[in-house]
């Protein structure tokens, strides 16, 4: 089994945390909406306000997770750039190999 890189581990952790947090917030909003159905007057208004607050919290959380994802993407791009710059001929060889492979597959498919 291949060993996970720190980037893969970070992405897995990020995905699991995001999913848990979003599920928790949506469960709370769903419960508050269910409670609101049985209320009237001030109680219904309070429940509605609670749902709005929870949805705003979810929106903020999603925005923050989006920022984290962008930062992780920038870090990954930086790491790839560093690797390419430190091994330019290896990068050229790998890119040429992929190009040759794709050329062979496309050429084979058109006959």
Total tally of structural domains belonging to the chain? 1
- How far does CA 4 lie from the centroid of its chain? 18
Average pLDDT on 34-40 reads 67
Segment (H or E) for 20: helix 6-37
pLDDT at residue 39 in the model: 66
In this structure, is residue 104 part of a structural domain?
A: no
Q: How many CB atoms lie within 10 A of CB 54?
A: 20
- Answer whether residue 47 is part of any domain: yes
Instruction: Give CA–CA dist 67/34, Å, rounded.
Output: 32
Tens of pLDDT, residue by residue over 44-77, are 777 778 777 877 787 777 778 778 888 888 888 8
pTM over 0.75: no
Comparing 15 with 7, which gets the higher pLDDT?
A: 15
Residue 5 lies in a domain: no
Q: Domain range spanning residue 64?
A: 42-78
Task: Answer whether residue 97 is part of any domain.
Answer: no
């Amino acid at each position: 089994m291949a060993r996970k890189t720190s980037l893969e581990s970070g992405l897995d952790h990020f995905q699991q945390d995001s999913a848990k947090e979003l599920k928790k917030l949506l469960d709370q909003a769903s419960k508050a909406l269910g409670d609101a159905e049985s209320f009237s007057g001030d109680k219904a208004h309070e429940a509605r306000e609670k749902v709005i607050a929870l949805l705003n919290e979810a929106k903020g959380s999603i925005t923050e997770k989006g920022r984290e994802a962008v930062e992780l993407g920038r870090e990954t791009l930086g790491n790839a750039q560093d690797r390419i710059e430190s091994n330019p001929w290896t990068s050229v060889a790998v890119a040429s190999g992929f190009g040759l492979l794709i050329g062979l597959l496309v050429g084979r498919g058109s006959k």
